[in-house]
Chain A
């Protein structure tokens, strides 16, 4: 492109121009994300130290730690623990169901594999609200689950508005998030290694435990994070399927902003949830790294 000899100065200048061009191309996105993401995030942080007027309005002075102190309130801790356990159980069930499922898909022939995979993608892309609403229809007091149960002479199913209903909804909603990374990990797996283990007289179970499972660990970690994080902050599912007694974090945060109008406490709660998510993510990666 250049006519004369390429001097180091020319090269440096070209490099500089190139990196400036790169930044310029990304600039609209950076500006947008700083304005509509980074600044709002900082604002929530600032609000979490603010105080409230007697009418419930947020006052941006008298900075204090009251909102964070309230996180240690037994009632709040109970909500945290309940949400945490529910997210953990959701993740465990998704993993237990998805692993053999993804294994089955990954071991089919190429064309069958594609069909089975598309059949997982369809609910994954389908409207989440609608998929959750479907369970409301099924689990309702005279819903389809009750009708089926009564045909077989059983009791009507009374699951709606309990934690069990929320659990079903969360597993249903987030199952594809677990299947897809697991499948990706198993599909990439070098099956010669498993065969080698079998040739060396490892039992089927031993070969799975010592070779297949450790090699699929990246999928297990990714899937667990992808299910755990949205489950912990879930709002739509508990709002539709859960009861008023078992308040969960997502609903609790929302109520601080829409009903209770305690923005500082709601902000502190948001940061509390993100902190727990961060810890959980680090934990999953540690466990994942150890088993390799």
Chain B
């Protein structure tokens, strides 16, 4: 859907966590969790983000929302640079950009009942005052998220994981945001519950035209929900393309390996799973040149010396590899 309007532009975004205490200074040793990432997000679109644990997916999501202060680069939301906003302007903007968390247990305050959890954002932003209208809105919201409205005076500890995640989603959607970062919203849930939650999120998207950034390490979930998919490795975006293109014709060796590692639910077609060699390197001492070269089966000398550019090999297909497009 690249024809529709851009809602979010991420430009050379960086987030480094210094190893020493205090603020990051140029040249210090640091964990480069998000290292020079650029992409756009369109209205009503879902962008999947995949990668191994520790590759910076969640950090990227949170830095975009400015829950972490970016080290460098810019995030434009509706063509406005959010890193320049002050506290008050940022608070206003939060109505429009939300996050759904991974852990349905720690993301809800155990001392608040569901009604208060859902009503508080509305009260804090002055959208409703206490009264029957607020009550009706919250009950309608619960209804849409598949929570019976008589649950509203219950507390988080009285719910199951899936129901808690519904509460978390309802809370994020209470303010009617147009952009939501979904930080592994289903990875803590049973498979049967996963599909319910994903369908709920899709319904909400259709209803309200929400744009999602969907972070996950589960390639099949991402394939199901996304329009485009980005693959991250050690803080960098190594490949970004429409989902059909990415799954049918991956260009980066890392993406190829990831897709080859998806288990096939058919014993006859089952083959030896190809496993990527080696361990993910530390993101403090990042390998020279291409970050993936120590584990790459196709690595040549140039990969050790020169960092590949992030280039568009076809329309809307970005790859960060010297030999992209040259593999068979």
The answer to whether A and B come from one shared complex is: no
Q: Which residues of A contact B (CB under 8 A)?
A: none
